[in-house]
Each structure stands twice: as C-alpha cells, then as structure tokens.
Amino acid sequence: MREPLADRLRETGHKITGPRRAVLHVLETAGQHVSPAEVLEQGRAIYPALSRATVYRTLDLLVDLGVLRPVCTGARGSQVVFVEGGHHHMICLDCGAVIHFDACAMDDLGQSLAERFGFQVKSHMLEVYGRCEDCQKKMHATAPSPASSSPPRKGG
Ligand SMILES: [Zn+2]
Ligand SMILES: [Zn+2]
Ligand SMILES: [Zn+2]
C-alpha cells in the first residue's frame, strides 16, 4: 500500500494547505495516468479557488520527491504517473493505446544494479513501444493476402 501523499510532504517539511490537499486527493483517487488539466478540473470540485499554478507547483514538488514522473503518451499529451513501486506500460505506436502490466523483472535487475553499481533502486518506470493487438488485426484485414490477390510480377 502506498504511503499517503500528505505524509510524504509533511515528512519532507512541506505544509499541507487547502488547495494542496485537493490536488493530493485527486492524485490519490486518479487512475494510472492523470494530466495536469484533469487534476485542476477535479481539484476545483473540491477546492473551487484552486489555481493552475498550485497544481503545477504541487506536481513538480512530487516529481522532485520521486513520487511522480511526467510522461507523454501521445494523444493525451503530458501526464503524470506514480513511479513508486514501479510503473510499467506498453504504448501502441499506431493508435496510442496504453496497456498496463504487472509482470516485471525489476526485482532481480534492481538487485544486480545494487551489486554492480552500489545503486539503491527506489522506483522504476518501464515503457515498451510497439503495435497493439487491434492494430495488428486491422493491418491484416486491410493488407492484400500475399498468396491469392497479388499476381506475380514480371521482370523486376
Ligand atoms: Zn516493476
Ligand atoms: Zn502507465
Ligand atoms: Zn494500436
């Protein structure tokens, strides 16, 4: 279970103001990815006077603390994701679909990085790029089948 964000900020000497609490609440109830615009919109439902500047400052602070990481997955523009405990997704280069997965070899890799480099791994982010199942099916549906429909060309 993730540590409450408010605790993280307090531990690092930051005040929890009303607007900031609204931002933290939105983040904690958001899905895997959330954009600053969504944080602002949902945060204003909790704290109507919430400003865009406060949203960006709070997100930046959480990025500095290593809790969040900015990502860009194409169609949705810039977003933030939680990286504590690891974040793994595949991005389809054709349609921009983002698919999350849990399987990860980071436990072993983190161990070997620690041994080789004396590096203490705190979080990680794994992005895999390719083509999703739907897009592969669409390609097969539209492409002429090589055996029947394309007559052999003469010459070359
Ligand atoms: Zn992982
Ligand atoms: Zn993701
Ligand atoms: Zn796709």
Q: From the CA of 22, how far away is ligand 1's center (Å)? A: 29
Closest CA relative to residue 102, chosen from 2, 35, 32, 3? 32
Ligand nearest to the CA of 34: 2
Cβ < 5 A residues, ion ligand 1: 86, 104, 106
Q: Which residues pair with 80 in a beta bridge?
A: 34, 70
Summarize pLDDT for 23-33 with one digit per residue, the tens. Answer: 999 999 998 89
110-28-51 Cα angle (round to 5): 120
Please state the pTM of the whole predicted model. 0.77
Q: Which domains does the chain have, with CATH numbers?
A: 1-82 (1.10.10.10), 85-142 (3.30.1490.190)
- Closest ligand by atom to 125 CA: 1
Distance from the CA of 76 to the center of ligand 2, in angstroms?
Answer: 12
> Starting from the edge strand earliest in sequence, which strands make up the sheet with 98-100, in order?
98-100, 87-92, 125-130
Structural tokens at position 152: 């052999």
pLDDT digits (tens, 9 = 90+) for 120-132: 888 899 999 999 9
**Which ligand number lies closest to the CA of residue 102?**
1
What does each C-alpha distance from 147 to 6, 58, 151, 152, 153 come to in angstroms? 62, 58, 8, 10, 13
pLDDT at 145 exceeding the cut of 80: no
> Which H or E run contains 92?
strand 87-92
**In this structure, what token pair is assigned to residue 117?**
């480099």
pLDDT band at 6, cuts 50/70/90? very high
pLDDT (tens digit, 9 = 90+) per residue, 39-96?
A: 999 999 999 999 999 999 999 999 999 899 999 877 778 899 998 888 999 999 999 8
